[in-house]
Amino acid sequence: MHSANGFEAPANGNVRFRNIFTISLASGTIDHVVNNIGEAATADAVLPRTVTNLP
């Protein structure tokens, strides 16, 4: 399985994210946490990839 983003949302001043994360638990890859921001989550490194504040 492959996903470009764990979360996607409109890019405007009314949309904010705080302390969100993605993690790959089995196989596959998530390239970014949200809207092309954040590190990739892969099955090779089962670690949460976090975005603390956006924007």
Q: Using pLDDT thresholds of 50, 70 and 90, give the confidence band for residue 11.
A: confident
pLDDT at residue number 53? 95
Q: Using pLDDT thresholds of 50, 70 and 90, give the confidence band for residue 47.
A: very high
Terminal-residue alpha carbon distance, the chain:
28
Averaged pLDDT of the chain: 94
* Nearest alpha-carbon partner for 37 in 24, 48, 51, 27: 51
Q: Using pLDDT thresholds of 50, 70 and 90, give the confidence band for residue 13.
A: confident
Amino acid (one-letter) located at 10: P
- pLDDT beyond 90 at 45: no
- pLDDT beyond 90 at 55: no
CA angle, corner 53, sides to 51 and 55, nearest 5?
115
